[in-house]
Amino acid sequence: MKPALAKAYNDNSKLEEVGRATLQIVHDLKNQLNGLKLYATYLRKRLEREDRTTEERETIAKLIAGLDRAAKDMTALVRYAQPVEMRKQPVDLAKIVSALVADIGTRDSGGLPPITIATEIADQAMTGEFDPVLITQALSEITDDIRTATKSKQPNAFSITLRRQNDEAQISWTGATPLTRQKAGAESMGFGTIHTKLGTRIIEAHGGRVKFENDTVLAWLPLIKESN
């Protein structure tokens, strides 16, 4: 005989209720983390003004980076649980990928060591019907996930390649070994962290697909057919 509690949670309404409560808790926790970051940022400024030791300044910097990562994880979890609502328009995927790589090279690394990204973008039409905000987010989530996973590798480098295959764009991230270490049967459950899962979900909503192949993450997105 199954316990009554287990039977109750087979009810879809109960699961939905638990899901809504979980998202509310995540939202509240994110607000608290943002508040803690404000205090930590204030302390960092105080330490800088008072010319405190390098160890103290590094400690507060790591604290802020950790709060940022936790808040980002929670944001990804909330977005993963929400429906993907798209506003599609013709988008040049090559421009999206180029801007993404340029942004990674200039923004705060969040405590991660410097990383080199080799980029190869084929000189072909790469226009598809995408939501530009969502598709940028999807590619950014996967790229950042790989970047985080490769933080202990030397020379901390991976590559992004974009090429056209018939009526699809293929994007490949090579150097993603830490993400591909799956237990037997894990492929059916997805891969990577919540960030890669969110990126995959958005790509699939656009009619694309994502998979692992050795040390490479591969994604395909449908493109507008070339006129003859």
- Please give the Cα distance from 106 to 116 (Å, whole number): 12
Q: What is the pLDDT of residues 22-47, one digit of tens each?
A: 777 777 787 888 888 888 888 888 87
> How many CA atoms within 13 Å lie on the side-chain side of 11?
9
- Between β-strands 157-165 and 116-121, what pairing exists: parallel, antiparallel or unpaired? parallel
For 127, phi then psi, to 5°, come to: -95, 130
- Which of 9-13, 68-72, 211-215 comes out lowest in average pLDDT? 9-13
Report the Cα–Cα distance between both ends of the chain, in Å, rounded.
66
pLDDT score of 57: 79
Residue 77 scores a pLDDT above 70 = yes
Answer left, alpha or beta for residue 224, where phi above 0 means left and psi between -120 and 50 means alpha: beta
- Please report, rounded to a whole number, the percentage of residues in the chain having pLDDT higher than 70: 74
What mean pLDDT, rounded, does the chain reach?
A: 77
Whole-prediction pTM value?
0.72
pLDDT score of 75: 83
- Please give the Cα distance from 68 to 51 (Å, whole number): 24
Tokens for 60, please give them: 């507060």
Q: What is the pLDDT of residues 117-158, one digit of tens each?
A: 778 888 888 999 999 999 999 999 888 887 776 654 545 567
- Please give the Cα distance from 40 to 47 (Å, whole number): 10
- Please give the Cα distance from 222 to 130 (Å, whole number): 9
